[in-house]
């Protein structure tokens, strides 16, 4: 229990610093985006952003080995942020809705947020959207399978055995059943960790795929919008949470 608490607290501290670094990166990104002749600058900032996100998942996966449940009930997120979570993170298809919104804004403003999307880029983005949609469905099916497994025959039998062993009061029998329950729980936690990593991989594939389709300048616009959305959602969530706690 203590190690589980430590894992959650350690990631909570890390996440706070990670978000602060994201805000700093966003400020630099917005400055770079104002200069339309800084192609090398765009690529450098995109690389910094991708490295920042890769570090997030490396730390997340390392601590999930200690306590995967912490990521399904994150103490570092506000209720608002939790409400928009999809299997411990953002839903990959959200990226395509964001691109669509930015593209529409660009058309209305004659060169706004996501500039110069070509027909070829549109086709590639649609193909990626379909591919990621299949990934999402696969992750959701696996998550459903994990949820259903809690009520499968084996788990129900273990519950019955545990109740019977406690009624009889035999320490040896109780210990034996407890060992079986512990083994079953380990299997369930391993399944949840697998689903979490599947979802994270879908997120990383989405990010990688989108950045490969967009030009460096478009990547900067997309990453800026995505980061602002994440930062603002957090700020709104924390503000709402603080207001609720005052009453």
- Please report, in tens digits, the pLDDT of each residue of the chain (247 residues total): 455 568 999 999 999 999 999 999 999 988 887 776 667 788 889 999 999 999 999 999 999 999 999 999 999 999 999 999 999 999 999 999 999 988 887 555 544 557 678 899 999 999 999 999 999 999 999 999 988 876 665 666 666 666 666 666 666 655 666 666 677 788 889 999 999 999 999 999 999 999 999 998 899 999 999 999 999 999 999 988 776 665 5
Signed CA dihedral, 86, 89, 90, 93: sign only: negative
Question: What tokens does 36 get?
Answer: 């339309």
What residues have CB less than 8 Å from 217, skipping those under 6 apart? 33, 36, 39, 42, 115, 116
112, 132, 146, 126: which is closest to 205 by C-alpha?
A: 132
């Amino acid at each position: 229990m203590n190690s589980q608490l430590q894992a959650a607290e350690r990631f909570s501290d890390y996440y706070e610093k990670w978000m602060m670094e994201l805000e700093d990166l966003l400020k630099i990104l917005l400055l770079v985006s104002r200069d339309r002749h800084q192609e090398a600058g765009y690529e450098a900032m995109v690389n910094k952003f991708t490295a920042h996100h890769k570090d997030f998942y490396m730390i997340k996966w390392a601590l999930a080995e200690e306590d995967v449940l912490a990521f399904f009930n994150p103490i570092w997120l506000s209720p608002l942020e939790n409400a928009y979570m999809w299997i411990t993170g953002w839903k990959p298809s959200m990226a395509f809705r964001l691109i669509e919104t930015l593209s529409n804004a660009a058309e209305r403003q004659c060169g706004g947020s996501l500039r110069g999307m070509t027909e070829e880029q549109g086709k590639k983005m649609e193909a990626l959207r379909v591919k990621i949609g299949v990934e999402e469905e696969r992750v959701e099916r696996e998550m459903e399978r994990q949820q259903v497994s809690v009520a499968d025959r084996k788990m129900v039998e273990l519950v019955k055995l545990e109740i019977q062993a406690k009624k009889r009061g035999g320490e040896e029998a109780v210990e034996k059943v407890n060992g079986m329950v512990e083994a079953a729980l380990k299997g369930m936690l391993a399944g949840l960790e697998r689903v979490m990593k599947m979802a994270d991989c879908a997120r990383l594939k989405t990010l990688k795929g989108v950045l490969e389709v967009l030009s460096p300048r478009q990547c900067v616009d997309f990453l800026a919008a995505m980061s602002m959305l994440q930062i603002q959602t957090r700020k709104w969530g924390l503000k709402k949470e603080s207001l609720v706690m005052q009453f």
